[in-house]
A and B are shown apart, each in its own frame.
Chain A
Amino acid sequence: MSAQAILSVQGLTVAHGAIVAVRDVALEVAPGQCLALLGPNGAGKTASVEAIAGLLPKVSGRVMFNGEDISGMPASTVVCRGLALVPQWRELFANFSVEETLLAATNAARGRPAISLEVIFEYFPRLKERRSQIAGSLSGGEQQMLAIGRALVTNPKMILLDEPSAGLAVGIVKTMIDIIGRIQQSGVAILLVEQNLEVATALAERCVVLTAGRMVWSGTVVDAMKTDEIREAYFA
Chain B
Amino acid sequence: MSEFVMVVIGGLAFGAIYALAAIGIVVIHKATKTVNFAHGGFVLFGAFAAYLVVVKLQWTYWAAYVIVPLLIGGIATVIELTILRPLRKADLFTVITATIFIGIGLSEIYRLSYNTEILAMPNPIPGRPFLIGDVILTREQIWVVAGAMISCLIGVLVFSHASMGRSMRAMASNVRGATLCGYSVNRVYALAWFVGGALAGLAGVFAGPSKGVSPELAVSMITAGFVAAVIGGFDSLRGALLGGLLLGLAETFAAAYVSSAMKNAVSFLLLFVVLLWRPEGLFSEGKGRDV
Contact = CB atoms under 8 A, between A and B. Distances in A.
Contact between A and B in the complex (any CB pair below 8 Å): yes
Contacts of A103: 163, 166
Given A94-B291, A95-B173, A75 B166 contact: no
A110 to B, nearest CB: 8
Interface of B: 163, 166-167, 169-170, 173-174, 176-185, 285, 287-291
Contact of A91 (B169, B176, B183, B288): B176
Nearest to A135: B291
A80 B181 CA distance: 8
B29 to A, nearest CB: 16
A92 interface: yes
Contacts of A53: 180
Interface residues of A, number: 35
Nearest to B185: A76
Contact of B180 (A79, A95, A110): A79
A196 B290 CA distance: 25
19 contacts: A55-B180, A75-B179, A76-B178, A76-B183, A77-B184, A84-B180, A87-B180, A93-B169, A93-B173, A94-B173, A95-B285, A103-B166, A104-B181, A105-B180, A107-B182, A108-B181, A135-B288, A135-B291, A136-B291
B181 A74 contact: no
Interface in A86-133: 87, 90-96, 100, 103-105, 107-110
A154 B173 contact: no
Given A136-B288, A136-B289, A93 B174 contact: yes
Contacts of B181: 79, 104-105, 107-108, 150, 154
A87 B174 CA distance: 12
Q: Which of A103, A107, A135 has the most CB of B within 10 A?
A: A107
B291 A74 contact: no
A10 interface: no
Interface in A124-164: 134-136, 138, 143, 150-151, 154
Nearest to A100: B166
